[in-house]
A and B are shown apart, each in its own frame.
Chain A
């Protein structure tokens, strides 16, 4: 039934079902939307992480496109090699080269490789699935974990409110390298996601897309609320969606009708539950300040 190169995509999806992602996984949905938006002419290098582990369990694979997984921190470097090989072999028009991964593979352990690849100006689309922790290894804190989130290595406890630092501004760091396109989107806004994916794919050079993907298991919300939680993150101002082209912010997704208070987003998730115990009101205020600052800086809401 399955041979190398022969497969009728299931329901026109280039990311087949039967993968072992959790029910309601935001990342599996985002991966499917991204691939469907890009089409079959891609070659994908993926870093170790949830996406790679649940979709490529030998001898099964959910990928209907040429796909390689090497190691945790080298997806960007492997993609650089793929892009160079296509160029030399005269196969540049055959496919778009994608490097994808999560918090670890791009923001932390793979950060050096990402920076190097962007700086060299390869024609690669880098996609980061931001689920705000190292989910695959058991929900440990990453550089993209937001302020006061409880993870297994930054747990809330008697002496701690969780993660003490805010998210690494990965998209802005990539934009500062001089990348022609760096954007942030969310699986809760699927049209925005598809539009940004297709726009990025059409640009030559290094382009970067960060996709916010809720993780029902790691964040502690019901599996049916994945989209709702993703939308709330944007509507509170905690996760601004924007595009940066050649270093300048060229578009933002405005909050309509008006910004929601952060509690509406935080109370749905077990990882922020500790912020609702008595005495933690100061922390909630700090988080609201982060949201307000984002709204101000990115002009997410005026009036």
Chain B
């Protein structure tokens, strides 16, 4: 049935739900948790109205949600789930399992901070916890990107060279609950881009097999190495899929990185997610004042595009990493990985890592300018910006 590609103003959650619907998932299982609830509610309504022919399993916990989609994917069905924060942490065990069993499930994480103290607001601490699981991790800057990335995610996951589950991080409330105009593809367009799921191994009485075996030391390392290789393959596949998407839909909203005015920049801000939009505006303002400032958006966090990031940043004199997370006891995660990527390179730009926006705290223009000033003065390992000294107890 031909429809028109249309531009509509949609809530981020609704945009994601529409994207998932267009990808024709067979089984959806999700446990509600703020701020992912609207995604799940929208999908439930679509199923109830017959717009989406899928089984909607109303599970009793996130662990069971991930397990149910694991079982569905293992049986040959395309499966999807969404969660955040505490729920995401609860299903971490299952995520490792999914990756190890090579099941191409797509998972949306409506990024939210982690308890304690309890917060329902945005930061990206949650999904970064899963960086060792073997999941491919993509992050969206705005609702259009979130929509587009979900369609690409299924294709990346189900590619035989990858066969890994994919997670898409989108900032909770900031993206999930904000209304933006998005271009909604038609069902035909998505069908042409994303063929139906054809697994190599799946549970069927026509070809019995045993999944989820126990391994002795003589096999385990090789199995994990193959996951590692699949992550390397994913780098190529992500780029291919993004190009394919551009051809078919006209938008380049995928790939490993995106740069803004970074080719000749002396100073480059690096970030993940919706924060990039703010950084871009400020970078533009600073350019007009004569400073050569650029922005690097890390779209794909796993597999970590080491080579590409070094290439994008190596000509700069100063790199400022602004991230909404901190690996407590060490530094921000993104800063860590970028520093490690530069090891052994020459020349190496000065790098400062700043922790901002935890628990939904607004990252203002003043914050960013402060970061710029501090980074120019000296190198910062992991500096928390915007601290209110009146609230701090002496430790």
Contacts and interface: CB of A to CB of B under 8 A. Distances in A.
The reply, when asked whether chain A contacts chain B directly with Cβ atoms under 8 A, is yes
Interface in A64-85: 64-71, 73-74, 76-82, 84-85
A4 B79 contact: no
Nearest to A113: B64
B59 A68 contact: no
A59 B209 CA distance: 11
Contacts of B71: 45, 68, 70, 77-82, 85
Contacts of B207: 4-5, 66
Chain A at the B interface: SS class: mixed
A116 B216 CA distance: 33
B203 A80 contact: no
Interface in A51-98: 52-53, 56-59, 61, 63-71, 73-74, 76-82, 84-89, 91, 94-95
Contacts of A116: 59-61, 64
User: Which of A53, A88, A116 neighbours the largest number of chain B CB atoms within 10 Å of its CB?
Assistant: A88
A40 B59 CA distance: 29
B201 interface: yes
A89 B208 contact: no
A56 B219 CA distance: 14
B344 interface: no
Interface residues of A, number: 49
A28 to B, nearest CB: 16
A13 B67 CA distance: 30
Interface string A255-280: 00000000000000000000000000
B74 A82 contact: yes
B53 A88 contact: yes
A71 B74 CA distance: 14
Given A94-B204, A112-B61, A116-B60, A88 B54 contact: yes
Interface string A91-127: 1001100000000000000001101110110000000
A195 B246 CA distance: 60
A59 B67 contact: no
A85 B210 CA distance: 18
B213 interface: yes
Interface of A: 4-5, 7, 40-43, 45, 52-53, 56-59, 61, 63-71, 73-74, 76-82, 84-89, 91, 94-95, 112-113, 115-117, 119-120
Closest 5 CB pairs of A and B: A81-B71, A116-B60, A5-B207, A69-B212, A77-B67
Given A80-B57, A81-B29, 10 more contacts: A56-B212, A58-B213, A63-B208, A68-B71, A71-B97, A73-B63, A81-B79, A84-B55, A89-B77, A95-B205
